[in-house]
Amino acid sequence: MIEKKYLKTKPECKVKFALSSDIVGSANKIAVVGDFNNWDASANPMRKQKSGVFASTLSLEVDNSYQFRYVIDGKQWLNDDMADAYVHSPISHETNCVISI
Protein backbone atom coordinates (compact mmCIF):
# COMPACT_ATOMS: atom_id res chain seq x y z
CA MET A 1 0.00 0.00 0.00
CA ILE A 2 1.20 3.49 -0.83
CA GLU A 3 -0.41 6.66 0.49
CA LYS A 4 0.57 10.13 -0.73
CA LYS A 5 -0.14 13.31 1.25
CA TYR A 6 0.97 16.51 -0.44
CA LEU A 7 2.02 19.37 1.83
CA LYS A 8 0.55 22.81 1.16
CA THR A 9 3.43 24.68 2.79
CA LYS A 10 6.38 22.91 1.11
CA PRO A 11 7.09 21.24 -2.24
CA GLU A 12 7.06 17.85 -0.51
CA CYS A 13 4.86 14.82 -0.29
CA LYS A 14 4.64 12.52 2.72
CA VAL A 15 4.61 9.02 1.28
CA LYS A 16 3.61 6.10 3.48
CA PHE A 17 4.91 2.75 2.29
CA ALA A 18 3.18 -0.22 3.94
CA LEU A 19 3.22 -4.00 3.54
CA SER A 20 0.68 -6.28 5.20
CA SER A 21 1.64 -9.40 7.12
CA ASP A 22 0.01 -11.64 4.51
CA ILE A 23 2.54 -10.32 1.96
CA VAL A 24 5.67 -10.44 4.12
CA GLY A 25 4.89 -13.53 6.19
CA SER A 26 7.25 -14.03 9.11
CA ALA A 27 9.70 -11.28 8.10
CA ASN A 28 11.75 -9.79 10.93
CA LYS A 29 12.94 -6.61 9.25
CA ILE A 30 11.97 -4.78 6.10
CA ALA A 31 13.42 -1.65 4.53
CA VAL A 32 12.21 0.57 1.73
CA VAL A 33 15.14 1.37 -0.55
CA GLY A 34 15.41 3.47 -3.67
CA ASP A 35 17.17 6.27 -5.41
CA PHE A 36 15.87 8.62 -2.68
CA ASN A 37 18.24 6.94 -0.17
CA ASN A 38 20.96 5.54 -2.47
CA TRP A 39 19.48 2.03 -2.14
CA ASP A 40 20.69 1.88 1.46
CA ALA A 41 18.81 -0.85 3.37
CA SER A 42 19.70 0.76 6.71
CA ALA A 43 18.42 4.25 5.80
CA ASN A 44 14.65 3.69 6.01
CA PRO A 45 13.68 0.64 8.03
CA MET A 46 9.98 -0.09 8.18
CA ARG A 47 8.39 -0.47 11.61
CA LYS A 48 6.09 -3.31 12.47
CA GLN A 49 2.70 -2.06 13.68
CA LYS A 50 0.48 -3.89 16.18
CA SER A 51 -1.66 -5.02 13.23
CA GLY A 52 1.36 -6.81 11.74
CA VAL A 53 1.75 -4.24 8.95
CA PHE A 54 5.26 -2.93 8.30
CA ALA A 55 5.23 0.80 7.47
CA SER A 56 7.53 3.75 6.87
CA THR A 57 6.75 7.35 5.90
CA LEU A 58 9.20 9.41 3.85
CA SER A 59 9.16 13.03 2.72
CA LEU A 60 9.86 13.18 -1.01
CA GLU A 61 10.29 16.22 -3.23
CA VAL A 62 7.41 16.87 -5.64
CA ASP A 63 7.70 16.87 -9.44
CA ASN A 64 9.97 13.82 -9.38
CA SER A 65 9.78 10.11 -9.99
CA TYR A 66 11.67 7.69 -7.77
CA GLN A 67 12.62 4.05 -8.25
CA PHE A 68 12.24 1.83 -5.20
CA ARG A 69 11.84 -1.70 -3.84
CA TYR A 70 11.57 -3.43 -0.48
CA VAL A 71 14.29 -5.57 1.10
CA ILE A 72 13.05 -8.30 3.43
CA ASP A 73 15.44 -9.67 6.06
CA GLY A 74 18.39 -8.32 4.10
CA LYS A 75 18.11 -10.79 1.22
CA GLN A 76 14.71 -10.94 -0.49
CA TRP A 77 13.69 -8.13 -2.85
CA LEU A 78 10.00 -7.30 -3.31
CA ASN A 79 8.05 -4.96 -5.55
CA ASP A 80 4.87 -3.10 -4.59
CA ASP A 81 1.69 -3.86 -6.54
CA MET A 82 0.57 -0.26 -5.93
CA ALA A 83 3.54 1.36 -7.69
CA ASP A 84 2.79 3.96 -10.36
CA ALA A 85 4.99 2.15 -12.90
CA TYR A 86 7.81 -0.38 -13.27
CA VAL A 87 11.17 -0.11 -15.05
CA HIS A 88 13.92 -2.60 -15.75
CA SER A 89 16.62 -2.59 -13.11
CA PRO A 90 20.04 -1.51 -14.42
CA ILE A 91 21.77 -4.14 -12.23
CA SER A 92 19.59 -7.26 -12.61
CA HIS A 93 16.94 -8.89 -14.78
CA GLU A 94 14.21 -7.76 -12.39
CA THR A 95 12.13 -4.59 -12.37
CA ASN A 96 12.09 -1.66 -9.99
CA CYS A 97 8.95 0.10 -8.82
CA VAL A 98 8.42 3.75 -9.71
CA ILE A 99 6.52 6.29 -7.66
CA SER A 100 5.67 9.66 -9.22
CA ILE A 101 5.25 12.62 -6.90
pLDDT tens digit sequence for 55-75: 999 999 999 999 999 999 999
CA distance 44 to 35: 12
Q: What does pTM read for this prediction?
A: 0.92
pLDDT tens for 40-59 read 999 999 999 998 899 999 99
Does residue 37 register a pLDDT over 90?
A: yes
CA distance 35 to 47: 20
Q: Output the 3-class SS for the chain.
A: CEEEEECCCCCEEEEEEEECHHHHCCCCCEEEEECCCCCCCCCCEEEECCCCCEEEEEEEECCCEEEEEEEECCCEEECCCCCCEEEECCCCCCEEEEEEC
CA distance 24 to 98: 20
C-beta separation of 62 from 73 below 8 A: no
What does pLDDT average to over the chain?
A: 94
C-beta separation of 98 from 86 below 8 A: yes
Does residue 24 register a pLDDT over 90?
A: no
Does residue 25 register a pLDDT over 90?
A: no
Q: Quick one: what percent of the chain has pLDDT higher than 90?
A: 83
pLDDT of 78:
94
- Does domain 2-100 bear CATH number 1.10.10.10? no
